[in-house]
């Protein structure tokens, strides 16, 4: 890439592209069952050569990965569990940093009361993260998820799904 100054080409490094990060939500069952907790996983896929800060970065200037969960219709989410981070050293820091690479799975449960009257459960989640490569960190981004699952009675059968997301 060249920048022209007074008609003279000057070679400059091309800006590093931001990674194409995927954020998706999954349920552990095909339906939510009244009287049981509904398990939910938010899966973040980070391309090779990039990382995101963990939920507890070790430097105050780094933005933590976080998720805000807002179930609807009187439902409440349990505590979000975050994966174990890896410790890495990068060109922009002399200290090791706490990061997620590859895939990060954030998990929580939403108890469905036995007397729940709606035919579905709706959960909004906002994931906030900051991605980086070995040289630079990009501005933080928010990813909004709208998840919905049918709710069945306490005696109706539900089937396990997406087992890979809950390992």
- The beta strands (E) that lie in the chain are given as 2-5, 8-11, 22-27, 32-33, 37-45, 51-53, 66-71, 86-88, 97-100, 103-111, 120-129, 131-132, 141-152
* Domain hosting residue 116, numbered range: 15-162
* Mean pLDDT (whole number) for 13-20: 71
pLDDT in tens, 98-120: 999 999 999 999 999 999 999 99
Q: What is the pLDDT of residue 3?
A: 44
Evaluate whether residue 6 is within a structural domain.
no
Give the pTM.
Answer: 0.88
Evaluate whether residue 9 is within a structural domain.
no
pLDDT in tens, 120-160: 999 999 999 999 998 888 899 999 999 999 999 999 999 99
Evaluate whether residue 1 is within a structural domain.
no
Q: Looking at residue 40, which CATH number applies to its domain?
A: 2.60.40.1250
Evaluate whether residue 3 is within a structural domain.
no
pLDDT in tens, 41-75: 999 999 999 999 999 999 888 899 999 999 999 99
């Amino acid at each position: 890439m060249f920048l022209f100054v007074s008609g003279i080409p000057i070679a400059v490094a091309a800006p590093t592209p931001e990674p194409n990060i995927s954020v998706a939500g999954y349920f552990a069952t095909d339906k939510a069952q009244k009287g049981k907790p509904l398990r939910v996983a938010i899966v973040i896929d980070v391309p090779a050569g990039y990382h995101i800060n963990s939920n507890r970065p070790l430097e105050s200037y780094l933005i933590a990965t976080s998720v805000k969960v807002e179930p609807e219709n009187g439902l409440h989410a349990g505590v979000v569990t975050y994966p174990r981070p890896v410790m890495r050293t990068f060109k922009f820091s002399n200290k090791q940093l706490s990061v997620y690479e590859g895939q990060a799975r954030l998990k929580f449960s939403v108890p469905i009361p036995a007397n729940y009257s709606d035919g579905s459960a709706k959960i909004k989640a906002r994931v906030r993260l900051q991605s980086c490569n070995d040289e630079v960190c990009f501005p933080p981004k928010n990813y909004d998820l709208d998840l919905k699952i049918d709710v069945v009675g306490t005696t109706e059968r539900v089937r396990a799904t997406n087992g890979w997301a809950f390992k």
